[in-house]
Chains A and B, each alone.
Chain A
């Protein structure tokens, strides 16, 4: 946790202030337990120190009156490229992908642009943690969880790596974009090795990489002596794959087609690795098996379009059905509209739509807090309101999933951010026309 240590040492805001704050009178959703009417949340320094109905604010605490308001953990968008791609159509601003087809050693968070205009805009909507994930043509590399603090990326880092990103949809057609809907690149900056030509090859190569990583871990001396067997990836990539082979780091596998979800479940069992399905548009069809295999799913609540032959059975209550069967889930955006960067902030509306398609409100809140925190192994720091947790806390004017609601107070690691994002400044400038200088 060197990131947290760095933050503790360097982050002037949170530490230097040593502020004690008591949020009183609100309806508190700890997520770890039932909601608390007229509850109190006490923050000291960067941590939550008390949560409950009968908590007395410490002497000298700054009091925030939350009567009539909702208090939740800061929201967590599990799958973004926040800080990785500032301008969609400008490759010079992209840091989301590696050159290699098997780029397991690529650590996405090392490319994060901490001055991204979208960090404040996301935070001011009550999102305090994000998964930052690489893109790629096959094995894309390692993702991380960042808290949306000030400072450089290493200070924002909550934990990295949290998962190895890969896809089995390596032969997709990407040229049918809506006019303005997407400006995604179809390939990396020109890798020499093509990705697997079809999904069976993708699964075969995944198995090979896992096997090579195991062999490499057991034979480093032979490798260094130049007596290695032939290996399908670089030394650094195999080194990075070792935690995956040991089940210590999940494989975040993009898969939508029901057959691919099935294959992913079998891969997890046969290779003894932890698999998390990303996308999972047809995962609902295998919900009981996913639950039994402890395979979690990151999925959205807004797509119902058969955009490819791999998602003919896409439906908006996918997450509802998965959760009902007991599958661990985290909500991610799949409704179109820059949901992984500019509108990573809209994850709270994704949650609202999940409720509109049958998920309970409590489950939807869990799917944007504790759910992703559990999947990524950071639930000891974020995702719930409990003593000892990092103070990522939001006071909402009302239901956090409603358009009418504002995030009125946003705390990240105990510091309250009163953001004026770039967008706020633009509105200030043009609120009254004509401007004086024209």
Chain B
């Protein structure tokens, strides 16, 4: 793990030794390895599709027990706690309440006039696979060579030195899902990452997070493949269905072999393997889909093949079918107010998130943008006040969920992150004012209890390798 200045300073205090790299991933495999002699083949060579061949090597940065007190806590798990305290210890939230005692040696932060929220979770980002600066050499987000590239994994494109990462962290974002682009009907696997300084993407991977599968409706895939198809929305649907049919057959073949382990295992196919995992429910389907009518057809398709859509992304028209989304238990992930950039985004309304939430569906903000990700609190504010303007009674307690526990749910991580509750990972943001005011900033950001951003201590700001010599440290005041 790269030792940044912050880590170095903390290490000096607690004299924690850094391990250069955790043990190789193979040691963690549980796959059967009936190799009689010679060098042990890797699980890929043994056709074990359930392996985790690129495992997380994330370890939390060093932390000290930290108590924030006298703050307003927007917990995303109930009503706000005013003049409340929160204790971060050993990487977890140890206590939340009106009165929490500081253990000996704890850092105590006076939160008077300040707010605390869970770390923000963004389920739709392309940081690292469309990094800054935008260069031909950096255009790693769309494998636009085939309408179905379920075989690609976004993590294999992520550049950990993308200067967009530290800026997202400074906006209070602690967990992101990095997705392949939407050129393809089926774009590939997502990567769930912690927003932390790291030398390798494995060092950023959220331990235990399930993969997502990016799929895309509508204009993008049909535009990219006009010559070979799909070139129409009906072509899009035919493309997904053909892929699911093939995946279904592949899954059956593997299910049969797994039941007996007799004979040669079927040959692995990366494309079908990912799709089969989605059919099994082990990989969440995240589907880029703008129009209400298309979402409804995708829902029918999910019934046809027996899988679940976890989350519709960019769901501009979710408000038109919010009742259907609630009934199906499908989350909707939305912008506050983007629109007009193509026909399928024309019906964007700022009340979208509020209307979806009011209908009982999981409503989530997302950025899809390295600028927007830096102020998702502001985007939620726009959505919250827009909802109030149309008569919905949306409190800050509800709105804070749109950027924390609801996106955590969409990633299947709501048992670990997304709320201020004892036992959860200490991903916490201290804001210098109401996070739904345009004038507020994230002041301190903690990931697993480690303070990785401090607005008041610019000398410690995480600078990526790229910035060295190009972006003067003094500039980042």
Contacts and interface: CB of A to CB of B under 8 A. Distances in A.
B133 A349 contact: no
B381 interface: yes
Contacts of A335: 371-372, 375
A343 B133 contact: no
Interface stretch (B4-12, B114-122, B433-441): B433-441
The DSSP consensus for interface residues of chain A is loop
Interface string A394-406: 0000000111101
A94 B374 CA distance: 30
Interface stretch (B204-212, B230-238, B344-352): B344-352
Given A89-B343, A183-B342, A427-B355, A304 B368 contact: no
A338 interface: yes
A343 B438 CA distance: 16
Interface string B306-335: 000000001000011111000000000001
B51 interface: no
B355 to A, nearest CB: 7
Interface in A159-199: 173, 175-183
A304 B373 CA distance: 12
A313 B372 contact: no
B477 A353 contact: no
B382 A423 contact: no
Nearest to A317: B477
A356 B440 contact: yes
A306 B349 contact: no
A342 B163 CA distance: 28
Given A118-B340, A356-B439, A427-B349, A181 B368 contact: yes
B319 A307 contact: no
A337 B337 contact: yes
A178 B370 contact: yes
A86 B163 CA distance: 33
Contact of A87 (B288, B343, B384): B343
Interface size class of B (residues with CB under 8 A): 35 or more
A343 B340 CA distance: 9
A422 to B, nearest CB: 8
B130 interface: yes
Interface stretch (A9-17, A143-151, A430-438): A430-438
A423 B390 contact: no
Contacts of B181: 179
A90 interface: yes
Given A176-B139, A309-B133, A406 B346 contact: no
Contacts of B219: 89
Interface residues of A, number: 54
Nearest to B162: A305
Contacts of B368: 178-181
A403 B341 contact: no
A370 B276 CA distance: 61
A315 B475 contact: yes
Interface in A409-435: 423, 426-427, 430-431, 433-434
B160 to A, nearest CB: 16
A281 B338 CA distance: 23
B390 A431 contact: yes
Interface stretch (B38-46, B79-87, B466-474): B466-474
Interface in A346-397: 346, 349, 352-353, 355-356
B371 A302 contact: yes
A304 B169 CA distance: 13
A403 B138 contact: no
B187 to A, nearest CB: 9
Contacts of A309: 133
B132 interface: yes
A315 B389 CA distance: 33
Interface in A92-117: 117
Nearest to A425: B349
B182 interface: yes
A175 B439 contact: no
B27 interface: no
Nearest to B344: A89
B398 interface: no
B439 A87 contact: no
B338 A338 contact: yes
B315 to A, nearest CB: 12
Interface string B409-448: 0000000000000000000000000001111110000000
Given A423-B349, A426-B347, A176 B138 contact: yes
7 contacts: A177-B134, A179-B130, A306-B132, A309-B133, A312-B471, A403-B384, A403-B437
Given A176-B134, A433-B359, 13 more contacts: A89-B219, A176-B136, A179-B142, A180-B314, A182-B341, A306-B467, A335-B375, A338-B341, A342-B338, A349-B378, A403-B436, A406-B389, A430-B355
Closest 5 CB pairs of A and B: A176-B134, A352-B438, A88-B341, A336-B371, A342-B340
